[in-house]
Amino acid sequence: MTVAIHPNERAADGSVPAGPDVARPGSPGSVPAPVVRMPRHLLSAADLDRPTAEHVLGTALRIEQAMAGREVRKLPTLRGRTVVNLFFEDSTRTRISFEVAAKRLSADVINFSAKGSSVSKGESLKDTAWTLQAMGADAVVCRHSSSGAPQQLSAWVDGHVINAGDGTHEHPTQALLDAYTLRRHLGGLDGRRIVVVGDILHSRVARSNVLLLSTLGAQVTLVAPPTLLPVGVGSWPAQVSYDLDRSLVGADAVMMLRVQRERMSGGFFPTEREYSRSYGLDVRRRDLLAPHGIVLHPGPMNRGMEITPQVADGERSVIVEQVANGVTVRMAVLYLLLSGEADEISGRGV
């Protein structure tokens, strides 16, 4: 089993042909293979066109297969590389997921959290970037409460920047792990109907998922109270509805977003109870899905608010699997971003 990308497969412009996970031309003279263009940084799900997104997901699948059944769950691919987890905002699960992913690829991992660091003493983002630059970070995984901070960071460091969630903007690796999970259960996403429910206005998960899932051919329907939809949502590649029941009928999957309780004090909706009644997922609503339909949630959940425990823990829920897939997908992202400089990743010799 190999997921190698040989240097001689890399075109002059740095792009590489799509791996075997995407459709190859059937015979000489047919349509040329789609070209994979891995961006230098992963800041937005829009950075990935369809061949590249499918290449990332295909690489994740092969990593999962390569790891399966191993006693030592570690690949030597990124040995000697330094991955910095730069977290300006608390996020235990995302940080740990990236940390495990980097460590399974044998990278050195430095956790740089804003708490108790120079950042809380007023050091600017730019000075922090220069510090990382001086330390020679090969990749910087950045979580920040300000939209756009990872993009700004990418202008100040030489390493590859991965957006691990920025403000209310994007969270592209979450969308990748969601797409990975959906593909495992639904096969291809072409024409699949995915319903995303909740606080679309403030959700970086929603923004990245709308972009990535539509890139992959899915039909996305956003459901939320009108107060939690951004002005301008009409320009997104998604349909919008205020009616959850109707949207769920026959859908292939539903993704419930966390609704922060402070939104209520912001006046976005009157009470938790009213929100749950209109936009919460209970067993009755879940059963409106297609028979094969699945339930996703990026976590952490407000049980009883946007999702009932019966649904969260029920048979159609893939929420726990999402967490495991997060590690695999992040391994693929780290590998592909750094692979221009790293040795080939291979099942052999590990």
Partner 1 sequence: MPAVLIRGGAPYGEDRADLLLVGGLIVALGPAASADARAADAEIVDADGLVVLPGLVDLHTHLREPGREDAETVASGSAAAALGGYTAVFAMPNTDPTADTAGVVEQVYRLGREVGLVDVHPIGAVTVGRKGERLAELAAMATSAARVRIFSDDGDCVSDPLLMRRALEYVKAFDGIIAQHAQDPRLTQGAQMHEGIVSARLGMTGWPAVAEEAIIARDCLLTDHVRSRLHVCHLSTAGSVDVVAAAKKRGTTVTAEVTPHHLLLTDERAVGYDPVFKVNPPLRTSRDIHALRTALAAGVIDIVATDHAPHASQDKETEWDNASPGMLGLQTALSVVILTMLLPGLLDWRGVARVMSEAPARIGALSDQGRPLAVGEPANLAMIDPEARWTVSRAALASLSANTPFEGMELPGRVVATYLRGRATVAATALAGR
Residues within the interface to partner 1 (CB under 8 A): 124-126, 144, 146-149, 151-152, 166-170, 204, 207, 230-233, 235-236
CA distance 209 to 194: 10
Q: In sequence order, which residues have a C-beta less than 8 Å from that of residue 349 and are 6 or more positions away?
A: 76
The residue among 15 and 131 lying less far from partner 1, judged by its C-beta, is 131
Shortest Cβ 235–partner 1 spacing (Å): 4
The residue among 146 and 346 lying less far from partner 1, judged by its C-beta, is 146
In the chain, where does DSSP find H-type helix?
Answer: 50-67, 92-104, 125-135, 149-154, 172-186, 204-215, 244-248, 262-265, 272-279, 283-286, 309-312, 319-338
Q: In sequence order, which residues have a C-beta less than 8 Å from that of residue 180 and are 6 or more positions away?
A: 57, 60, 61, 325, 328, 329
Shortest Cβ 201–partner 1 spacing (Å): 9
Q: Which amino acid is at 140?
A: V
CA distance 50 to 315: 31
Q: Are strands 219-223 and 239-241 parallel, antiparallel or unpaired?
A: parallel
Shortest Cβ 166–partner 1 spacing (Å): 7
Shortest Cβ 125–partner 1 spacing (Å): 6
Question: b/e for 210-246, b at 16 or more Cβ within 10 A?
Answer: bbbbbbbebbbbbbbbeebbbeebeebebebbeebee
Shortest Cβ 100–partner 1 spacing (Å): 27
User: Could you identify the residue written with the tokens 């402070």?
Assistant: 262
The residue among 238 and 244 lying less far from partner 1, judged by its C-beta, is 238
Shortest Cβ 242–partner 1 spacing (Å): 17
Q: Is 184 helix (H, G, I), strand (E, B) or coil?
A: helix
The residue among 146 and 278 lying less far from partner 1, judged by its C-beta, is 146
In which element (H, E) is residue 234 found?
none
Shortest Cβ 124–partner 1 spacing (Å): 6
